[in-house]
Copies of this chain bind each other. A is one copy, B any other.
Amino acid sequence: MGAVILDGKKVAREIKEQVKSKVEELVKRGITPGLAVILVGDNPASQVYVRNKEKTCHQLGIVSLRYDLPKETTEEELLKLIEELNANQNVHGILVQLPLPAHIDERRVLYSISPNKDVDGFHPYNLGRLLIGDPLFLPCTPWGVQELLLRYGIDFEGKNVVIVGRSNIVGKPLAMMLVQKAKGANATVSICHTRTKNLHEYTLLADILVAACGVPRMVKGNMVKEGAVVVDVGINRVDGGLVGDVDFEEVSKVASYITPVPGGVGPMTIAMLMANTVKAAENLFQHG
């Protein structure tokens, strides 16, 4: 038996091919999508993420403008750069790699990005549009989770979805996406977290269980309903290796489908970032 592996790498490749075609269309019309990526300081993990985003831009024909700022950069300097990029017609998407150094107010920075260039989907305006059911940009990881399952023919309609984790970049926006009265959504959604009294009771209800809590191998086999779909958003560095929030060995014996770590949700996130960047360029083309 054993669960079917949801191959995020493969699906991400398909999406990137589609994005590449859209880029070619735009280039024919005289527009080359541009993504500005701002990295403050020298966090090694952030450097890897930024390099991957840059590389993917190159593969798809998107111009990547990388800004490497020293860790002493002041908040005002960073805000000034964002202001310039907001006004720059060649920049369609702006991404500030998190985390920022402690002396910079992360919220103030995120709020300063033009909602029309907010390809991460972290701006309150975009999160509000998502909540209302009228999204402009969806945050990349939740969108990647939704798209991965849909492309495997797994629908959310009428399903019990349980999300473990209430972050601003995964848990809460994903809950709001999946509860919408809309195609590819329409699920009953529960959000659990560190203060949940009886986590098992909830996770065992789930037809689709999403682990996004940042605790290595926290979801065990006995917490999963037979035949459930399990999505692992976690990426935890343990003993030099990478593990998710799901105990893959145990859970893959119970679940019908499961995402691996790495190669599951991670590649989807980057693919959706590219899709958002092209969408931003198309919006500018259509609405000026």
Chain A residues with CB under 8 Å of chain B are 107, 123-134, 157-160, 166, 168, 172-173, 175-176, 179-181, 186-193, 195-197, 201-202, 205
Nearest residue (CB) in B for A131 is B127
Q: A124-B132, A181-B195, A189-B191 are in contact. List 6 more A-B contacts (CB 8 A).
A: A123-B128, A124-B124, A124-B134, A158-B195, A158-B197, A175-B191
Q: How many angstroms from the CA of A133 to the CA of B166 in the assembled complex?
A: 11
Q: How many angstroms from the CA of A160 to the CA of B196 in the assembled complex?
A: 8
Nearest residue (CB) in B for A192 is B188
Interface of A is mostly: mixed
Q: How many angstroms from the CA of A197 to the CA of B187 in the assembled complex?
A: 9
**Which residue in B125, B133, B175, B196 is a CB contact (below 8 Å) of A128?**
B125
A-B contact pairs, 19 of them (CB 8 A): A107-B132, A124-B125, A124-B127, A124-B128, A124-B134, A125-B128, A127-B131, A132-B168, A166-B179, A166-B180, A172-B176, A175-B191, A176-B176, A179-B191, A179-B193, A181-B193, A188-B191, A188-B193, A190-B190
Q: Which residues of B contact A124 (CB under 8 A)?
A: 124-129, 131-132, 134
**Copies of this chain in the oligomer:** 2
Q: How many angstroms from the CA of A84 to the CA of B127 in the assembled complex?
A: 27
Q: Which residues of B contact A186 (CB under 8 A)?
A: 195
Q: Which residues of B contact A129 (CB under 8 A)?
A: 124, 128
Q: Which residues of B contact A189 (CB under 8 A)?
A: 190-191
What's the minimum C-beta distance from A118 to chain B, rounded to whole angstroms?
11
Known: A193-B181, A197-B160. A131 touches B188 (CB 8 A): no
Known: A127-B131, A168-B131, A172-B131. A196 touches B192 (CB 8 A): no
A131 touches B128 (CB 8 A): yes
What's the minimum C-beta distance from A50 to chain B, rounded to whole angstroms?
23
Q: Which residues of B contact A176 (CB under 8 A)?
A: 131, 172, 176
B197 touches A188 (CB 8 A): yes
Q: Which residues of B contact A172 (CB under 8 A)?
A: 131, 176, 179
B168 touches A181 (CB 8 A): no
Q: How many angstroms from the CA of A181 to the CA of B167 in the assembled complex?
A: 10
Nearest residue (CB) in B for A196 is B188
Q: Which residues of B contact A187 (CB under 8 A)?
A: 195
What's the minimum C-beta distance from A203 to chain B, rounded to whole angstroms?
11
What's the minimum C-beta distance from A163 to chain B, rounded to whole angstroms?
10
Nearest residue (CB) in B for A187 is B195
Q: How many angstroms from the CA of A171 to the CA of B126 in the assembled complex?
A: 19
What's the minimum C-beta distance from A185 to chain B, rounded to whole angstroms?
9
Q: How many angstroms from the CA of A105 to the CA of B173 in the assembled complex?
A: 25
Q: How many angstroms from the CA of A188 to the CA of B190 in the assembled complex?
A: 7
